[in-house]
Amino acid sequence: MSHKTAATGAHTIGIDTGKNTLHLIGLDDKGAIVLREKIARGRIAARFANVPRCLIGIEAGMATHYVARELIALGHDVRQVPPAYAKPFRQGHKNDFRDAHAIAEAVQRPSTRCVPVKTDDQLDLQALHRVRSRLVGQRTAVINQIRGFLLEHGIAVRQGLRFLRQQLPDILAKRGDVLSPRMIRIIEDLSGDWRRLDERIQHITEEIEVLANSSESCRQLMTAPGIGPLIASAMVAAIGNGAAFAKGRDFAAWLGLVPKQMSTGDRTILGRISKRGNRYLRTMLMQGARVILLRPANWAKHSFGLWLTAAAQRLHHNVLATALANKLARIAWTVLAQGRSYEARVEPKVA
């Protein structure tokens, strides 16, 4: 393949992103390659400054939102293509230029669902959630390590964070018969790590809550059942105003809250949920659904109360939680897309 740099004749350009370099493939209106180039990441804006307006497909991934915003500012039509959607268009063995070519082919298809470009506020909010998630994972690891050390010395503590927090001071003070001074010091150090992680998690959680309360979209989402500041802000950070989805069912399917389909011919085969999309947001919606299930007395207050009561009699608890999370996701998308608060619309009982 010859190296061509006539970007002025390119109708569509595909960009495969890397840490330091970007690989470009340009196609004319007939699909022929008219551009094949590798440039440094820092030169992307300068390279496209004098290029006529064209359709640019960029592989969605690390730091692509910033590059996409730079190209949009130059007047180009920029769309971020998920790698999974570009893969079927790749011909031959994998390399960066063939990936860029596949992206250029995929971005021209009307059926390709692209990733919306996130704003700086969305990226900041997303970063807070990712840091909080990491800290929660580290705290869980510390707690499990403390439990493991205690169990190795014959001390079992009831499952649950609050029970270990309550019993740990007494264990360290009174169980010197089975815990050596060195082991007591080790567990005290781990307990200090636990307290510091609690403080950091609390600080980040409070910051997220302040941002959620100051956002109109988040306040509207928080009117829906089972959705608090964490879920509302995570959803806004992930999908913005929800314009990337045509309906709530598409959003629930993107989250992976629908059965995995393996149908063929006239046979419809549905398996367990697909677990696609944003794992963090899916997990939080599942937690919100389980909180609602803990309070059956409040089910009648929601518009889906009758459905939930009937479903609880025929579905396993975990299946019911997943179905409710799916419904909450669809309700939340409707609230976000229509820009209005949730309305229960509960019909009064006929005497």
pLDDT tens per residue, range 39-61: 998 898 899 988 899 999 999 98
User: Which residues does 315 contact at the CB level (< 8 Å), separation at least 6?
Assistant: 323
List the CATH number of the domain containing 78: 3.30.420.10
Which neighbouring-strand residues pair with 22? 17, 39
User: Which residues does 121 contact at the CB level (< 8 Å), separation at least 6?
Assistant: none
What is the torsional sign of CA 2, 93, 96, 54?
A: positive
Q: For residue range 252-265, what is the model confidence (pLDDT) as tens digits?
A: 999 999 988 888 88
Residue 270 has pLDDT above 70, yes or no: yes
Angle, CA of 123, 227 and 135, to the nearest 5°:
50
Distance CA 55, CA 61 (A): 18
Residue 177: helix, strand or coil by DSSP? coil
At 197, the amino acid letter reads: L
Residue 188 has pLDDT above 70, yes or no: yes
SS3 content of the chain, % helix, strand, coil (to 5): 55, 10, 30
Q: How many domains does the chain have?
A: 3
Instruction: Verify that 99 and 143 share a domain, yes or no.
Output: no
Q: Provide the domain limits for residue 328.
A: 240-338
Distance CA 120, CA 115 (A): 15
Residue 5 has pLDDT above 90, yes or no: no
Boundary of a domain, candidates 107, 135, 150 = 107
Instruction: Verify that 78 and 152 share a domain, yes or no.
Output: no
Tokens matching residue 224 = 């829906």
> Among 66, 56, 83, 42, which Cα is nearest to 117's?
66
Let me know if residue 128 belongs to a domain: yes
Instruction: Verify that 97 and 171 share a domain, yes or no.
Output: no
Instruction: Verify that 198 and 263 share a domain, yes or no.
Output: no
Instruction: Verify that 88 and 34 share a domain, yes or no.
Output: yes
Let me know if residue 347 belongs to a domain: no
Q: For residue range 144-159, what is the model confidence (pLDDT) as tens digits?
A: 999 999 999 999 999 8
pLDDT of residue 351: 45
> Among 223, 284, 294, which Cα is nearest to 256's?
284
Global pTM value: 0.87
Residue 1 has pLDDT above 50, yes or no: no
Angle, CA of 326, 327 and 329, to the nearest 5°:
65
Let me know if residue 225 belongs to a domain: no
pLDDT of residue 16: 93
Question: Mean pLDDT throughout 106-111?
Answer: 93
Let me know if residue 114 belongs to a domain: no
Instruction: Verify that 199 and 281 share a domain, yes or no.
Output: no
Let me know if residue 246 belongs to a domain: yes
Distance CA 139, CA 198 (A): 8
